[in-house]
Amino acid sequence: MEKSFPIILIAIVILLSAIMVFSSNILYQNLSPYQFEKAIVEDINEEKIEEDHVIPDLYLGYQQIKVKITTGKYKGESFNIKNPMSRLYNVHTKIGDKIVVSIHEENNTIQSISLYNYQKEKVVYMLIISFFLLLILLSGWKGLYAIISLIFTGIAIIFFMMPMLFKGYEPIPITILTVAITTIVTLLLIDSPSKKTLSAILGTIVGVIIAGTISYIASNIAHISGLTSNEAEGLIYIAEHRNVKIKGLTFSAILIASLGAIMDVAMSIASSIFELEKSNPKSNSKELLKSGMSIGKDIMGTMSNTLILAFAGSSLNMILFIIAYGMPYRQIVNLDFLVAEVIQGISGSIGIVLTVPITAIIASRMAKSN
């Protein structure tokens, strides 16, 4: 049974994934009047550009280019379009470049075609495939199981959680359910059913919920609405047309963002305690708990840094902007954006710190239970 369990679980995961994908209409959620198609630059009819004196390798001006559509209903057709280049929007093309164009169509008639960006998906696919191959080569079957769990997590978020949010469900319970499902599947795939796995699952779920709860309470006290990001205007538009409840999305973001780090901590503590019990069966639950906490002290600092640095890294441009403009301390410390980032980073770190004793208590008791 133990040998066949991974196969059974993978079959269940595939079935659940298929149900989520085919029962969801998330891929048909389209509020944009534009369609995006691949194209290739056939010719440059006119070019008036000059190199920017501030940013190296950046050209300002415009191009008149001829593009040939390579996908969609206009495949094979060629169009002449203008390609303006500024510091904010800049795609400098050459003959033969593979690009993406946006087509604005009304009543089956093209109103406008504009250059959107370079085709970049090949780089993304190459990186993903390289990561998967390295994981399998260095980790064997466990690496394969990790890939399956990662894909399942992505499917659960996109094809289960997102459709529920679009249907108007409250973000908090839906996110907790998503986190619980993905945690159970991931840890069962990576480590077969056991008391150790159950300890890690319980520790992860409790730790993530604590992180999200602290974030939710702190956001309410600080009057953080969840509309502090660059996407705020778009979120309001979506909320009007798709009945999405924006309040609570910050909580959801914390749960998803901190899940991986908290899962790592929970499994590390659970594994350590069960290994200690195996090497010294005479030890009691108190001794195991003490050892688990001792190990956890080393983990807390590094994993807390992981989350805080991740949030700081994502905000690096804004931090640079704040320092460059010499904002006074009272303005900085009360910025919605900065307060939201601090709440997210600290809440996730508190979740990690509290996951250590929670998992240690659960694992030490389960290790000595009959």
Q: Which residues pair with 67 in a beta bridge?
A: 41, 79
d(CA 78, CA 68): 4
Q: What is the mean pLDDT of residues 252-256?
A: 80
The secondary element (H helix, E strand) that includes residue 309 is helix 285-314
Angle formed at CA 100 by CA 96 and CA 101, multiple of 5 degrees: 110
Confidence of residue 257 (pLDDT cuts 50, 70, 90): confident
Structure tokens given for 341? 């980032």
Contact (Cβ atoms closer than 8 angstroms) between residue 304 and residue 349: yes
At residue 352 the predicted structure's pLDDT band, cuts being 50, 70 and 90, is confident
pLDDT of residue 42: 93
Distance CA(52)–CA(90), nearest Å, equals 11
- Residue 228: pLDDT above 60? no
Note the pLDDT of residue 303: 72
Closest CA to 171 of 219, 243, 223: 243
Q: In this predicted structure, what is the pLDDT of residue 134? A: 94
The model's pLDDT over 280-304, given as tens digits with 9 standing for 90+, comes to 888 888 888 888 888 888 787 777 6
Decide: 212 and 254 in contact? Cβ < 8 Å: yes
Terminal-to-terminal C-alpha distance of the chain: 21
In this prediction, residue 68 carries a pLDDT of 93
Confidence at 128, pLDDT banded by 50, 70, 90: very high
* Residue 131 pLDDT class (50, 70, 90 cuts): very high
Whole-angstrom distance, CA of residue 38 vs CA of residue 241: 29
Q: How many CB atoms lie within 10 A of CB 270?
A: 31
The answer to whether 91 touches 119, Cβ cutoff 8 Å, is: no
Please say if the pLDDT value at position 108 is more than 80. no
pLDDT of residue 43: 92
Decide: residue 324, CB within 10 A, 0-12 exposed, 13-18 middle, 19+ buried.
Answer: exposed
**Using CA atoms, how far apart are residues 95 and 216, in angstroms rounded to an integer?**
52
Cα–Cα distance measured from residue 60 to residue 16, given in angstroms and rounded to the nearest whole number = 50
Q: 240: which 2 tokens?
A: 């009007």
Nearest to 190 by CA among 152, 220, 227, 164: 152
When mean pLDDT is compared across 80-84, 273-277, 326-330, the lowest value belongs to 326-330
pLDDT of residue 361: 92
The token duo for 126 is: 């190459």
Q: What is the dihedral of CA 152, 155, 157, 163, to 10 degrees?
A: -150
Per-chain mean pLDDT for the chain:
83
Task: Note the pLDDT of residue 229.
Answer: 54
Task: With a cut of 80, say whether residue 27 has pLDDT above it.
Answer: no
Portion of the chain with pLDDT greater than 70, in percent: 91
Q: How confident is the model over 138-192, as pLDDT tens digits?
A: 988 888 888 999 999 999 998 999 888 888 888 888 888 898 899 999 888 887 7
Q: How do strand 34-51 and strand 98-106 relate by DSSP bridges?
A: antiparallel
Res 31 pLDDT > 70: no
Q: Where are the beta strands (DSSP E) in the chain?
A: 34-51, 59-69, 78-85, 98-106, 109-118
